[in-house]
Structure 1
Amino acid sequence: MRSFSNLWYWIALAVVWSTTSHWVLGVPYDMVLRARRHGGQAQQDLEDMVRITTNRLLYILKMTGPVLLAFTSFLLASLGIMAFYYNVEIAQALFLLAFPMSIVGGLSFYTAAQISHDMIRGEALQKRLASHRIVTQGIGMLSIFVTAMYGMYQNMSLGALGQ
């Protein structure tokens, strides 16, 4: 299972991060841009969509928060051990994809709670979603860079061994 030399892994990595940066808290970012340009009904649609997805995220957190945290921690720890202690390449590839996504997931829960608690609306909501997107893109860029460097290292070291 040579993950880092497989084109499909890199395509999947690009698609995951592209989709993650486009869908901010479950809302397509073009809705934010449309609300910023046109206001009115576009802004109302954005606020309704954010209210729905925020309430959904907070409901998930309320109902399954500790279980979700425990399961995610178990999954990441298992992947990390298989990846870096037992040197399983598919686990390395999945860990380098799942760990940063779990950070984005936690950030999304935090942002949803902040929007709901502070009742953010209007231009402040647009700015909050834009800043969430920028942080998500930063995490994605760092993740892609680290994954690319690690993948190149793996490919070069395994290539040198003749495997």
Structure 2
Amino acid sequence: MTTVAAQPSTAVQSAPTALNGFVPPPPDKYRGAVVEDLQLSPAFALPQDERIGRAIELAYDRDFSHIPVLDRKRKPLGYVEVAALKKKWEAGEADPTDNVALYMTKFNRSVSTNPYTVITPDTPLADLERFLQDNIFALVTDYGRKFVLGVATAQDLETFVSRRGI
């Protein structure tokens, strides 16, 4: 009977980062979470005929930096950037009784140059993160896109990740 002595392996074990050229995707930092999991505050939006003095007051009460502007049928028209609006008011370039519609940034509705991205409570957070790379915020709408339910920002994603300890 022949005995074979075990020899230590000289093969180098590689880290499980590559196998035949395949590199696995990074772990999902959101763990499959969706927009609903962000627990956003209810949407705050302004009608197009709201006065800027009132808009600034409401924005600071709620600590919002950007506020969607809606038409009479609750269709999103654009948004106001509160800091810029306040600066114009303080510089005398805007009257507190002016309508916010005069100072809003209008949404680009051209589908050919800027396709509309629907963000609903079921949108995966990874998709929301990709959208927010090119946008200041996302309007979260109901499934039929009739109502604005919330406003999501990159800061909301950062808070979510830190809260979960990921």
Q: Which has a greater percent of helix?
A: 1
- When normalised by structure 1's length, the TM-score is 0.28
Larger fraction in strand: 2
Q: TM-score, normalised by structure 2?
A: 0.28
Higher relative contact order (CA 8 A, sep 6+): 1
Larger Rg: 2
